[in-house]
Every structure is written in C-alpha cells, then in structure tokens.
Amino acid sequence: MFLAREEDKHREIIEKMAEKFEGERTEPKKINIDIMGEFMVIAERLAELIQKPDFTVDEVYEVSMQAELVSEKLYRELAGYAATENTRLILEILADMERNHYNILKKQYDYIMRYPDIYKEEFYDQLMKDINFNF
C-alpha cells in the first residue's frame, strides 16, 4: 500500500507538471523511448500473474522489483529530453524515488526469504501497520 501511494504521488507530480507547462507548450517533440518495450513485458507479466490463482510471493516481488527498475530507467531517459532544468531535476528525483522503491522491495524480499517463518506470524501484520514508511 505504501508503494501504491507513492506511485499515486508520482502521477500527481506529473499531472501538476503538465498543468504548469500547459501555457508554455511549444510544438510537441516526438521521441522514441526504447524502454517502453520493457514496460509492455512487465505489464503482460503482471496481467498473467493476476490471472494465476496460485501465484507465489517470489513472483510478486520479482515483477514488482522489475517494474521499479524500469520506471527508474524511464524517468532517467525522459530527463535527457527535458526542455528545462527544473523538468530535468524533477524527472531525476522521480528516478531516484523509483530506485528507493526497488531497494525497499529488495530488502523486504531478502528478509522474507531469509526468515520465512516470521512472515507467517500474526505480529508481522501489525508490525507492517505500525512502521512509518514516510521517512
């Protein structure tokens, strides 16, 4: 849920950027972004995973971590096309945030794999509710 809220924040940032630059728009610049193919692969894998009644924690983490890395690549690539320094900076910040999301997922996945029994205990759910991820 934390990461889902973070992605919502990214969408809001991009929407605000689009609104702010609405009046400053010039002729649209068509760019070819190679990373979009990777997005399609991950979207397809996610769709397949959702359809599986017996998907595993490993599969969820694998796809989620890949999605974060691809998002980081996208923002970095877009930063190279930014028309202004502020836009470039915002896109680079978003890329860094995606890397942080990957690191959160990776660390949690490593703990799940190392200590699987802890994640089956009822106190884990409460621990996750109590942790303040807004650091």
pLDDT on residue 100? 92
Let me know: does 41 contact 70? Beta carbons within 8 Å.
no
Please give the pLDDT value at position 52: 84
Quote the pTM value: 0.74
Q: Which of 5-14, 36-45, 83-92 has the lowest mean pLDDT?
A: 5-14
* Cα–Cα distance, 57 to 66 (Å, whole number): 14
Mean pLDDT is lowest, of 7-16, 34-43, 123-132, for: 123-132
Which of the residue ranges 9-18, 40-49, 61-70, 82-91 would you say has the lowest mean pLDDT? 9-18
Per-residue pLDDT tens digits for 69-115: 999 999 999 898 887 888 899 899 999 999 999 999 999 888 888 88
DSSP assignment of 55-116, as one string? Answer: --HHHHHHHHHHHHHHHHHHHHHHHTT-SSHHHHHHHHHHHHHHHHHHHHHHHHHHHHHH-T
**How much is the pLDDT for 135?**
40
Confidence (pLDDT) at 26:
59
Q: Considering all CA atoms of the chain, what is the largest pairwise distance in Å, rounded to the nearest integer? A: 57
**What is the model's pLDDT at position 103?**
94
